[in-house]
A and B are shown apart, each in its own frame.
Chain A
Amino acid sequence: MTQLRTPIGPDDHVSGPRDGPVQLVEYGDFECPSCGAAFPEVEHVRRALEGRLSFAFRHFPLSQVHPHAALAAEAAEAAAAQGRFWEMHRLLFENQEALDPDALVSYAEALGLDVDRFRTDLDERRHRQKVRRQFLDGARSGVNGTPTFFVNGQRHDGPFDADSLLEALGGGSSHRAY
């Protein structure tokens, strides 16, 4: 029950190679403070395992407690539709306290996106289904809060500082990661 049901696939935003020897999947919420705390840790892991790590971020917005989380996730998808998922992902985590619609549009402007298109995507909730799909799939994989990490397909229940993640990831591959 703590195995990832859906491996990294074409629907995912992947940083690094798509089929790297080590795979990390995060279910996260842009308004969740713990996910914000995890962000620099994951950045560190990405740099440490560059070229070998496939990292996918999936949406798990808990809208009841984080009222801006779902739209922020959709904003990341709207940026992805213009090829800029990871840049938006960074901006959202770096500005967790400002995720209202105007702020989201200002991030799109900062990234030089087609703002009309971005705004329409949000207004019409064009990416809502995808976000919901990822949320449900996460729930079925045993995601019970955010952030939840899966290391090589297994839920990682330990701490999510960079060292702990690197240790978990190192255990799943043929040679030490660092």
Chain B
Amino acid sequence: MSLEDLAGAPAVLVFYPADFTPVCGEELALFGELLPELEALGARVVGISVDSVWCHRAYADQRNIRFRLLSDFEPKGETSRRYGCYREDAGVCERALFVLDRDGKVFWSSVSPMDQNPGVDGVLDALERLRQEAGEGRGPEPLGREAQGEARP
């Protein structure tokens, strides 16, 4: 999966240090709980950590995670590095949130302390602003782009 797969709609990237840690669990549970609202704002949500696909699968099954988890495993931390949120010393990514616009450009971001659940309010605010700007400045959405951009594993 690449950024192009997410293009055509706003995206929420949830970088988190590792599967199976208490704060991540709560953070992802919160994003999962608000998935209908995030999707109603047109966004696709993905979680990203350096854990392997198999680890993600076990984690998603056990915690009933309803959105896609991406594995930044090989080459390790490559994606996180590009977003400036990889911690070389710890070998994991920061607890960081990004909201991308439909062209894949960073519209809003925040980094939280490792042990702090950032909550979802910043993301909701950013998506609403994004929608307002799109509505005011860019005219109607081109037909068909939504469906075309649907990401596949």
| Interface positions of A (Cβ within 8 A of B) | 1, 62-65, 135-136, 139-145
Contacts and interface: CB of A to CB of B under 8 A. Distances in A.
Contacts of B32: 64
Given A139-B124, A143-B119, A144-B118, 19 more contacts: A1-B121, A1-B122, A62-B26, A62-B29, A62-B30, A62-B33, A64-B33, A64-B64, A65-B25, A136-B34, A139-B120, A139-B121, A140-B121, A140-B124, A142-B119, A142-B121, A144-B120, A145-B26, A145-B117
A71 to B, nearest CB: 15
Nearest to B22: A145
Interface residues of B, number: 20
Interface centre among B26, B64, B117, B119 (most CB of A within 10 A): B119
B124 A144 contact: no
Interface of B: 25-27, 29-30, 32-34, 37, 63-66, 117-122, 124
Contacts of B65: 64
B63 A64 contact: yes
Contacts of A136: 34, 37
List the 9 closest A-B pairs by CB distance, nearest first.
A144-B119, A144-B117, A145-B26, A142-B121, A64-B29, A64-B32, A142-B119, A65-B29, A64-B64
Contacts of A1: 119, 121-122
A139 B119 contact: yes
A142 B123 CA distance: 11
Nearest to B28: A64
Given A64-B64, A145-B26, A139 B118 contact: no
A144 B63 contact: no
29 contacts: A1-B119, A1-B121, A1-B122, A62-B26, A62-B29, A63-B33, A64-B32, A64-B33, A64-B64, A64-B66, A65-B25, A65-B64, A135-B33, A139-B30, A139-B119, A139-B120, A139-B121, A140-B121, A141-B121, A142-B119, A143-B119, A144-B26, A144-B27, A144-B30, A144-B117, A144-B118, A144-B119, A145-B30, A145-B117
Contacts of B119: 1, 139, 142-144
Contacts of A65: 25, 29, 63-64
Nearest to A1: B121
Nearest to A63: B33
A64 B36 CA distance: 13
B97 to A, nearest CB: 12
A161 to B, nearest CB: 20
